[in-house]
Amino acid sequence: MKKRIFISLLCVFLAITLISVFASCDAKSDAMNESAMGGAPEPGEDIKLELDGSQIDSESGEYERKIIKTADISSETKNFDKALEKVDELCKQYNAYIESSTIGGVSYGSEGGSRNARFTIRVPAEKFDTLNEDIDSILNVTSSSSNADEITSQYYDIKSRIEVLELQKESLQKMYDNYTDYSDVNSLISLQDKLFSVIEEIEAYETQIRLYDSKVAYSTINLSIREVVEYTENTEDDPFFKKLGRSFSDGWEVFLDILVGIITIVAFLLPELIVAGGIITLAVILSKKRKRRKADKRESTSENNDNNLDNPYSKH
């Protein structure tokens, strides 16, 4: 009886021990699989990384969207200097800055004057729309367009590539640090080249990420300003007859411009035309006189011949 009880307890103990061992092995196997999946993803699989909280939407769990906003604005102003001052004030107001600027031309006080300016403005993305509206309020905007380029996929794809390359770099660095067979110099040089190549690739991707971060954080506004005497009217909503009248007026102005151009050319060539006209007139007069003399000579010769025929005593 005691032997049976002892054998039963021994069996229970062995069963519990075996169960514990198998559970431990399964846990280690799962941990190794997870580690392997994280360090070396299979071909064709999407690489999923744990990113910091600032890059993940806390509500949806999705990546933070990365959008590059750009606007192109063409505008006019009657007070060029004042317009430049207002643009500078708006930049200060919205914590924006002028990345590049070009100003050319001369004022309307000079002959043929017309000044123009072009600015590339970088403004915090959250203030992009507001600054566009304020520009429309201080200038006569003739045309404008905006573009929102979403780069979320490209951005996090590069982030994933950097993460994988960092793991590769760490592995190569350990191999390089623990390398002991210095007799095989070629293998050492090959290992070093691979390590440097991975480091160079990481730096290139990090540069691209910094560029993306800059463009996402600060949107771009390309603003052009032209000095005018009168603003260009918006004709898109005008009725038909108003457009017809404006077309006739524009055509008449073009005709007058052509006429003025012709008169200007004639006035410029007038001295030469007068000299040429005098020469031509003199040539015509001399030609007419020469023809008259020839005609008179012919008439005189003809009369003499007639007189000789009528006179019986003339010698034949």
Q: Is the pTM of this model over 0.85?
A: no
- Distance of alpha carbon 49 from alpha carbon 93, whole angstroms: 39
Predicted confidence at residue 214, as pLDDT, reads 94
Condensed to tens digits (0 to 9), the pLDDT of residues 24-55 reads 444 444 443 443 333 334 333 433 344 444 45
Give yes or no for a contact between 97 and 121, defined as CB atoms under 8 angstroms apart: yes
Confidence of residue 141 (pLDDT cuts 50, 70, 90): very high
Task: Report the DSSP beta bridge partners of residue 222.
Answer: 72, 120
Residue with tokens 């590769």: 168
* Burial class (CB within 10 angstroms; exposed 0-12, middle 13-18, buried 19+) of 81: exposed
Confidence of residue 106 (pLDDT cuts 50, 70, 90): confident
Taking alpha carbons only, the member of 59, 58, 32, 63 closest to residue 46 is 63
